[in-house]
């Protein structure tokens, strides 16, 4: 399973424990529409809401170093 597939499952399941393991402490999520940046703890809170679903996932950059 790819990283994107794993993360999609974690988000769709609202699995905070798996998110804690998967997301690096330095993780930053840039919301391109608002310019806001979310860190790991913000994402874990978001996962805990369990009403968030990932739709229309796009990969903007990918390489073999990840």
* Per-residue pLDDT at 62: 62
Instruction: Give the whole-angstrom CA distance, residue 8 versus residue 58.
Output: 11
pLDDT 10s digits, 11-66: 889 999 999 999 999 999 888 889 999 999 999 998 888 777 777 777 776 667 65
DSSP secondary structure letter of residue 25: T
DSSP secondary structure letter of residue 29: E
Instruction: Record the pTM.
Output: 0.69
Q: Which residues contact 64 (CB under 8 A, 6 or more apart)?
A: none
């Amino acid at each position: 399973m790819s990283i994107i597939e794993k993360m999609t499952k974690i988000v769709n399941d609202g699995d905070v424990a798996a998110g804690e393991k998967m997301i690096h402490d330095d993780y930053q999520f840039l919301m391109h529409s608002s310019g806001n940046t979310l860190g790991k703890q913000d994402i874990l809170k978001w996962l805990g809401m369990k009403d968030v679903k990932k739709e229309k996932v796009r990969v903007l950059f990918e390489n073999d170093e990840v």
